[in-house]
Amino acid sequence: MLVYLRVFKESLSFAINALRNNKLRTFLSLLGVTVGIFSIIAVLAAVDSLDKNIKDSLSGLDKNTIYLTKFSFGPTEVPRWKRDNFPQTDYGDYEFVKRNVPNIAASAYVIFGGGETVRYQAETLTNINITPVSHGIYEIDDLKIGEGRFYSEMESETGAPVIVLGSELAENLFDNLNPIGKQVRVYGRKLTVIGVLKKYGTGLGDSPDGKGFVPANFVRRFRNGGVNGLPGAVVIKPESGVDIAAFEQVLVQKFRAHRGLKADEDDNFFINKLAGLVSFVDGIIASLNLIGWVISGFSLLVGGFGIANIMFVSVKERTNLIGIQKSLGAKNRFILFQFLFEAIILAVVGGLVGLAFVWIIAQIMNGVVGEEFEFVLSFGNMFLGFALSTLIGLISGVIPAISASRLDPVEAIRTGM
């Protein structure tokens, strides 16, 4: 054990001397490992951060929430021409589902809003996402009110001219004024602000912060179908503990009967579940991870070649010293471990520098956009970076170390002279 500790100590000394005596060569060799580790860990950290922020944004939602509409949220085998001919999901469909499908905890009808102009006195904001939706969305999306209240079921059914603003939209319109009770103009009509949502920050899709919510029936008074040609959807939250597969089967059967579809006719609607959306997002995250590994792997490969190159040069420069060590009784494994440890130390130094750069960037990112997007650098990713740099040093140094350990002492001394 003491022998290996001495070998490690001497190898560390040789590595430090190599860093001091060949600064430019060593720097260029370490740069490849540094860039490779930085690339992989930065990509993994960025993807993990995106995944965490998406999952956090969906944490308050029931993953079994269903969107019944004419289009699919993910890839589908139904051809485009057939999807284009599907009927739009209208308010009558919502009323049918609400009355006839059992085990529904909450339901809502939403018209996917387009960009609208919102005015308050002299302040005008354009391209604002105004979502016409019935009262049930408050429970389904687990919306949180910061000030005021959300519109009631009665206001939703009667189409009351009221609006609930996202925190960012309220701030942009009213600055420091209290928006509750103020009137804004949307769709060319006056609506009374009755509530402001709490601040959510960025997440999956559009953040509620920049949105406005109005009763769907208010918009249906003067616009048939969707807003700006966009369709609507029935949003359904099943009761807790319900068998989702059985619930979905009942929903499909009843809705097919409502649409008058025959047994041999295909569905003319889609059942989209948030759980499926989460799985789809997980697939994208996995693909991003794979792409990051492939691209960064080339950087690691270059770094490995750089370490191997400097080790071959180091063996060449110290051939005479190796011959002297072996003539004095040094075993082959002593020489092998000496150069192998040196390669590992060089690679680990490069990896630690790469990790340090990722950590610094993570702190900067969190300082700039910390409230809206949390950049996560996990211990697992840092350990992975350390392990990868060690593995690179081991692989890159093993061949030069073996060649050094097999040198004949007489020939080594003669060559060195």
Number of H helices, E strands in the chain: 14, 11
Query: Quick check: 252 and 97 in contact, CB under 8 A?
Result: no
What contacts 164, CB < 8 A, 6 or more positions away? 145, 148, 150, 151, 193, 194, 195, 196, 197, 212, 213, 214
The predicted structure's pLDDT at residue 402: 79
The predicted structure's pLDDT at residue 154: 93
- Residues 186, 40: Cα–Cα separation, whole Å: 48
- Residues 214, 114: Cα–Cα separation, whole Å: 13
- How big is the chain, counted in residues? 417
Cα dihedral 153, 157, 158, 163 sign:
positive
What contacts 357, CB < 8 A, 6 or more positions away? 34, 38
- Residues 227, 351: Cα–Cα separation, whole Å: 54
The predicted structure's pLDDT at residue 226: 46
The predicted structure's pLDDT at residue 251: 92
Entry pTM: 0.60
Q: Nearest CA to 30 among 400, 311, 303, 397?
A: 303
What contacts 410, CB < 8 A, 6 or more positions away? 323, 327
Residue 118 carries which side chain, given as an amino acid letter?
A: V
What are the structure tokens assigned to 174, written together? 């009213």
What contacts 53, CB < 8 A, 6 or more positions away? 202, 203, 204, 373, 374
- Residues 34, 380: Cα–Cα separation, whole Å: 18
Domains of the chain by residue range:
2-58+285-416, 104-236
- Residues 375, 362: Cα–Cα separation, whole Å: 6
Query: Quick check: 68 and 97 in contact, CB under 8 A?
Result: yes
What contacts 13, CB < 8 A, 6 or more positions away? none
The predicted structure's pLDDT at residue 242: 86
What are the structure tokens assigned to 216, written together? 């769907």
| pLDDT per residue rounded down to tens, the chain (417 residues) | 666 677 667 666 766 666 677 677 677 777 777 777 777 777 777 777 777 766 666 555 567 888 998 888 777 888 888 888 888 888 889 999 999 999 999 999 998 867 888 998 888 898 888 999 999 999 888 888 989 999 999 999 999 999 999 998 999 898 888 999 999 999 889 999 999 999 876 554 557 888 899 999 998 887 764 444 557 899 999 988 888 889 989 999 999 999 998 888 888 898 888 765 666 667 777 777 777 777 767 777 777 777 787 777 777 777 677 677 667 666 776 777 777 777 787 788 888 888 888 888 877 777 776 555 667 777 777 787 778 788 887 887 788 777 777 776 666 666 655
Q: How many CB atoms lie within 10 A of CB 46?
A: 19
What are the structure tokens assigned to 102, written together? 């059992």
Q: Nearest CA to 44 among 386, 392, 384?
A: 384
The predicted structure's pLDDT at residue 228: 45
Q: How many CB atoms lie within 10 A of CB 189?
A: 13
DSSP track, 295-340 = HHHHHHHHHHHHHHHHHHHHHHHTHHHHHHHHHTT--HHHHHHHHH
